[in-house]
């Protein structure tokens, strides 16, 4: 099955890459992705509400989990993503993963 393909206003083909994952152990809760998202994909949640036993903590020392504010971003409505990747461009910790998605039949 082929991926979703869009057309820019100039007529060029464009393949959107949709949010597939958000690494909450790296997220610092800055809210930049929330502010730039044109859809209702993200929500800010209390870090204390996370189930730390199920999360894989990054042992590289690159995460700011212990130093982060009390809030962290979460994926609220993943199916509302339009694949623009604006969230990844503003994320200072590179917490988001994106992939092209197959077109629905």
Residue 77 has pLDDT above 70, yes or no: yes
Question: Going by C-beta distance under 8 Å and a sequence separation of 6 or more, which residues neighbour residue 73?
Answer: 22, 24, 27, 29, 31, 33, 34, 42, 43, 44, 45, 95
Among 45-49, 74-78, 97-101, the minimum mean pLDDT is found in 45-49
Closest CA to 83 of 12, 30, 24, 4: 4
- The model carries a pTM of 0.77
Beta strand 6-7 pairing with 13-14: antiparallel
pLDDT digits (tens, 9 = 90+) for 32-45: 999 999 999 999 99
User: 68 falls in which pLDDT band (50, 70, 90)?
Assistant: very low
Query: What domains are defined for the chain?
Result: 22-96 (3.30.70.20)
pLDDT, greater one: 57 or 34: 34
In whole angstroms, give the CA distance from residue 104 to residue 82: 14
Instruction: Assess contact for 86 and 7: CB atoms under 8 A.
Output: no
Residue 86 has pLDDT above 50, yes or no: yes
Secondary structure (3-state) at 36: helix
User: 49 falls in which pLDDT band (50, 70, 90)?
Assistant: confident
Considering the chain, what is the average pLDDT of its residues? 86
């Amino acid at each position: 099955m082929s991926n979703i393909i869009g057309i820019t206003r100039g007529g060029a083909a464009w393949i959107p890459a949709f949010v597939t994952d958000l690494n909450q152990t790296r997220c610092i809760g800055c809210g930049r992705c929330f502010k730039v998202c044109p859809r209702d994909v993200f929500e800010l949640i209390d870090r204390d509400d996370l189930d730390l036993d199920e999360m894989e903590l990054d042992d590289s020392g690159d995460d700011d989990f212990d130093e982060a504010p009390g809030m962290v971003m979460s994926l609220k409505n993943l199916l509302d993503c339009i694949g623009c990747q604006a969230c990844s461009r503003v994320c200072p910790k590179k917490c988001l993963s994106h992939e092209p998605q197959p077109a629905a039949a």
